[in-house]
Amino acid sequence: MGGGALAGKRAVVTGASSGIGRAIALAYAEAGAEAVMITYRGNADGAHAVVAELTRLGATASAHQLDLADPTGPGRLADEAKRRLGGVDAWVNNAGADILTGAWAKRSREEKLAYVLDIDVTGTALASWAALELMREQAAGGVILNVSWDHVTAGMAGENPMVYAAAKGAVLSFSKSLAREVAPTVRVNVLAPGFIETAFGEQAKTAWREHVERITPLGRWGTPEDVAHAAVYLASDAAAFLTGQTVMVNGGVVM
């Protein structure tokens, strides 16, 4: 690989068969990462398409099935990363539960809450600890990025926002405590996207889409690439003095 902000680095990005995870994985390869491992839960075709793109960009790439409902999954993923890559310099915990689209959108709030807490909170914690075990073995340490949500600091009315805030607020708090625990060997930061053009945004009604544009100071929905640019920076040496911080990629909706 040539130069770039992540030249020579090895990365793991969970939940990268589409959307924000896909954008982060590709941005890492474009920034010079020498190897990018991605995970998917059910979208194998999407994951393999991402691997093909990563390979075209010059990165060593592979896709691995990971269901965060299985508590043994993160540990097995870390073992595979060590076997294939020898270690990991940046680990992005992007995988999360979708309660806004598909079958889960019709479940009860109690079912949604249990599901999101299991996947987003427990899954993120277990994956962070698995990544940490790898990085502590490395002289250069590493970077863990966890994905939260911008509105956990401001609140949003509604059943789904309340459920989502319970989980993503926990991810934010956990990440701050983890950052204090593992410094200075490992840096831990948080990405907090706002309204991003993923599956939810694409299927939103026109009136809601226009409402989001009106309340966003920068006047538009964000893109997965907007989040990916921040993820590249936080994983790079340019962010070497940042830990325990939250970067809100949201056009200024929450400040």
Q: What is the pLDDT of residue 2?
A: 56
CATH number of 10-249: 3.40.50.720
pLDDT digits (tens, 9 = 90+) for 64-90: 999 999 999 999 999 999 999 999 999
**Cα 147 to the chain's mean position, in Å?**
5
Distance CA 10, CA 78 (A): 12
Q: Active-site residue 164, yes or no?
A: yes
Token pair, residue 110, equals 């109690």
| Of 28, 115, 164, 233, catalytic | 164
Residue 178 has pLDDT above 90, yes or no: yes
Taking a C-beta distance cutoff of 8 angstroms, is the pair 251, 220 a contact? Answer: yes
**Which pLDDT score is estimated for 200?**
76
Long-range residue pairs from 151-157, CB within 8 A, at least 24 positions apart, any chain: 151/194, 151/254, 152/192, 153/192, 153/254, 154/254
Residue 201 pLDDT > 80: no
Average pLDDT, integer, range 167-183: 98
Cα distance between residue 92 and residue 25, in whole Å: 9
